[in-house]
Amino acid sequence: MSQITSVFKPGYKVLIAYITVGYPDIKATLSIAAALAESGCDIIELGIPFSDPLADGVTIQKSSYQALQQGTTPQACLDTAAEISKKVSVPLVFMTYYNPVLNFGLELFCQSCITAGINGLIVPDLTPEEGAELEAITRKHDLDLVYFLAPTSTEERIAAVAERSRGFIYLVSLTGVTGTRDTLPLELEGFVKRVRQKSKQPLCVGFGVSTPEHAKRVAAIADGVIVGSRLIQLIEEDATLASLKSFVASMREALN
C-alpha cells in the first residue's frame, strides 16, 4: 500500500490541497504547505509552474506565470518539495504537465521525486494511451501516477483509467478548466456512480470545489475533494495565511 493509498480509510473523507510552487515565492510556499498540513489537509498537491497550463483557469494560470517570472524551475520545485517533506508528514504529489517531465528526463525526474519525498504524480495532459513509459518508471520507483476522468469520458476510458491509475482517480467535476464556481454540476452524482461501478481506487473530485457546501456534497458520493483555485485566491488576499487556515479548517469540518 502506498503512502497516498494509506490516507484513504473507510468512512473518512480526504482533503487534497493544490498550491503552485513559487507562488507568491519559494519561501512563502514552505510556510503555506506547513499551514495546510496543520489545518487539516491530508495530501498536498504541489503544482510545477508551466507556460501553457491547458487545464488551469485564470487564477492558477496567474500564479504559475508569477512563479515562472521569479525563475521557478522543475529543479527548484524538487528542492522545495524536499524542504516541505522535512516539515510535514502528509503525502506530497506533484501536479505537472508532461513537457517539463520529458525535458527533465523521465527516469531522472522520478528518481529525483523519490529523493525529494514526493509520493505521486498528477499529469493532466497525459492519457493512458500515451502513459505506458511513465507508468513503468513510476511503478519501478513506487510513485503513484494518477489519471483523470471527466464527465465526458467514455466507458472504455473509464475502464482503462480504473485499471491503471494508482493512488486515486482524479475526477474532473465539469468540462472546462480549474477555477472557483458558485455551483457544481447537477450530473456530478451520476458521473461518480458511473466510475464507481468500474473502479476499486478511491475517487477524488476537483475543479470548481470552492466552498464547504461543495465539499459536503462531494463527500456524500466520493472519497475526497481537491481544492486549488480558492486557496490561491486566499493566499493572494491575505499574506498572513489566517484566511487560508480558516478556510481549510472549514472544509475539513464539512468533510467530517
Q: Is 56 a catalytic residue?
A: yes
Catalytic residue among 25, 42, 52, 56: 56
**Among 122, 38, 16, 40, which Cα is nearest to 88's?**
38
Q: Tell me the residue ranges of DSSP E strands in 112-196.
A: 120-122, 144-146, 148-149, 169-172
For residue 182, how far is the Cα from the chain centroid? 21
**What is the Cα gyration radius of the chain?**
17
Q: Which long-range contacts (CB under 8 A, 24 or more apart) does 56-59 make?
A: 56/177, 56/178, 57/176, 57/177, 57/178, 57/179, 57/229, 58/179, 59/178, 59/179, 59/180, 59/229, 59/232, 59/233
Catalytic residue among 45, 135, 144, 223: 45
Give the phi and the psi of residue 250 in degrees, each rounded to 5: -70, -35
The residues, any chain, with a CB within 8 Å of residue 148's CB and separated by 6 or more, are 122, 124, 161, 169, 170, 171, 172
Provide the 3-class DSSP secondary structure of residue 200.
Answer: coil
| Cross-strand pairs, 146 | 122
Q: Which residues are catalytic?
A: 45, 56
